[in-house]
Amino acid sequence: MLKHKNRLMGALLFFVTTGVCAETLEDAWDSAINNNHRIKSAKADTDASEQQLHSAQGQRLPDLNVSSGYTQFSETPTAKAQIADQSAQFSTAQAGSVKAQAIASVPIFTSGRIGHNIDAAEASLQAVQSNEITSVLDIKMQVAEAYITILRLESALQVAQSHVETLSLHMNDVNNLFDQGMVARNDVLAANVELANAQQLVVQANNQLDIGRARYNQLLDRNLADKVNLAHQFPETPTEALNELSSNAIKQRPELVALAQQIESLGQQAQSVKAGLLPQVAVNGGYQYQENRYQAFEGMWMANVGMEWKLFDGSSRHRSDAITRQAMSLKEQRDDLSSMISLQVRQAWLDIQETQKRIAVTQQAIAQADENLKVTIDRYQQGLSTNTEVLKAEDLRTTTHDNYNNATYDAALATLHLRRATGIL
């Protein structure tokens, strides 16, 4: 039994000492951020929002329109006139002519319409940037969960393999005692059944581990069959008090920032729509050319100042009210999310407290379970205990090791959940 225990501890030590050559969680995060398709999609959304901001800012710049065309009439345009009580006709334009113009238009006063549009676009860009951060955090959390799942399954596989080794050694003891006539055949049958069940658990553990590694590789956009070697390294647990963690989460979570900026963007859009009902003043200027040999000046420069004021519009006010209602809806969502974030922080913080206590308890239980199995096997070899007691002691040992591994990885996962809940993953 001592030999088996040393073998199990040696395997665990191997993973720890070789961790420097294995992939760390930070390495996995970097790979996911560079390769994950969801993050690439979020970055594309950010680029699109930046272009929308440039488009809004471009409304303040002059518009330059150039147009040209050729017109052919069926008859030559002609005017009639009475001269000295006699009718006279004369041509006013050519039957076919070219017309061209280049006109520039600059808005000089829009009652805030363009300014509100730009502010809305800036707020929308900040919201999209926050959504990109949220996508990064979500992917990092998924990678972390897959990372810990692999480590958990590797530990479970080690326990399952140690279970097979222990039962194989016990099977040898049972066969020897049976050959000596010291135990009944029932002990041999029971030991064989337990060994077969343990071997089945190893097969299942190997399959689950392969699935876990494939899921991990998928998140990092790798070949699903790529080899996975992970280090036992995790971020530190936040040490702040629960109230401080909750307060920091409300300030730092990008989801709340995104909602706040979306609310701001909708408010600016509503103001822009309202401003469209107020006076709009623009300066226009350019050059016009009309081919006409009957005209003294075919080409002329022009400039004018125009003002437009919609005194009545049956749709703009309703559109502004609709946008305002959308902003009110997002405010309610933000308040609900704030409450949910506080709950997430509290739950993760409580999970950390629980797992730390579980680790302390299971550490003690491991030593006791190992010693109990050793004593029970010695007693069985001396004919002082039954085969059932040995199998029960071995089941207790494996359960204790599994409990310790689960408590350890649950603690690491709770820490990651707490960091995600506070927005600092």
Average pLDDT of each block of 10 consecutive residues along the chain (425 residues)?
45 44 91 89 93 94 93 88 79 88 93 94 95 94 96 96 94 90 89 94 96 94 93 90 94 94 95 92 94 88 92 86 94 95 96 95 93 93 89 94 96 96 91
So what's the pLDDT on residue 302?
92
Q: What is the per-residue pLDDT for 165?
A: 95
Find the helix packing angle between 113-179 and 37-57, rounded to 10°: 170
Handedness of CA 326, 330, 333, 335 (dihedral sign): negative
Q: Annotate 50-88 with b (16+ C-beta within 10 A) or e (fewer).
A: eebbeebeeeeeeeeeeeeeeeeeeeeeeeeeeeeeeee
Q: Which CATH number fits domain 64-109+278-312: 2.60.120, 1.10.3470, 2.20.200, 1.10.1740?
A: 2.20.200
Those residues with Cβ within 8 angstroms of residue 403's Cβ, 6 or more apart along the chain or in another chain:
358, 362, 365
Cβ contact 255:134 at 8 Å? yes
**pLDDT for the residue numbered 2:** 41
pLDDT the model gives residue 88: 82
CB atoms within 10 A of CB 264: 19
- Predicted local confidence at residue 425, as pLDDT: 84
pLDDT at 13: 45
Residue 114: CA atoms inside 13 Å, Cβ hemisphere, count? Answer: 17
CA–CA separation, 399 and 369 (whole Å): 9
Alpha helices (H) in 180-253, listed in sequence order: 185-219, 242-252
Closest residue by Cα to residue 146 from 237, 208, 207: 208
Distance (Å) of CA 233 to CA 101, 151, 210, 309: 70, 11, 21, 66
Fold of 2-35+111-277+315-422: Outer membrane efflux proteins (OEP) (1.20.1600)
Contact yes or no for 279/305 (Cβ under 8 A): no
pLDDT number for residue 231: 93
Q: Are 374 and 173 in contact (CB under 8 A)?
A: no
Contact criterion met (CB below 8 Å) for 163 and 205: no
Q: Report the chain's terminal Cα–Cα distance, integer Å.
A: 42
pLDDT at 6: 47
Residue 292 phi/psi, 5° resolution? -165, 105
What integer pLDDT is reported at residue 351 of this predicted model?
A: 96
Eight-state DSSP code of residue 181: T
Residue written as token pair 């559109």: 319
Cross-strand pairs, 190: none
| pLDDT recorded at residue 35 | 87
User: Domain boundaries in the chain?
Assistant: 2-35+111-277+315-422, 64-109+278-312
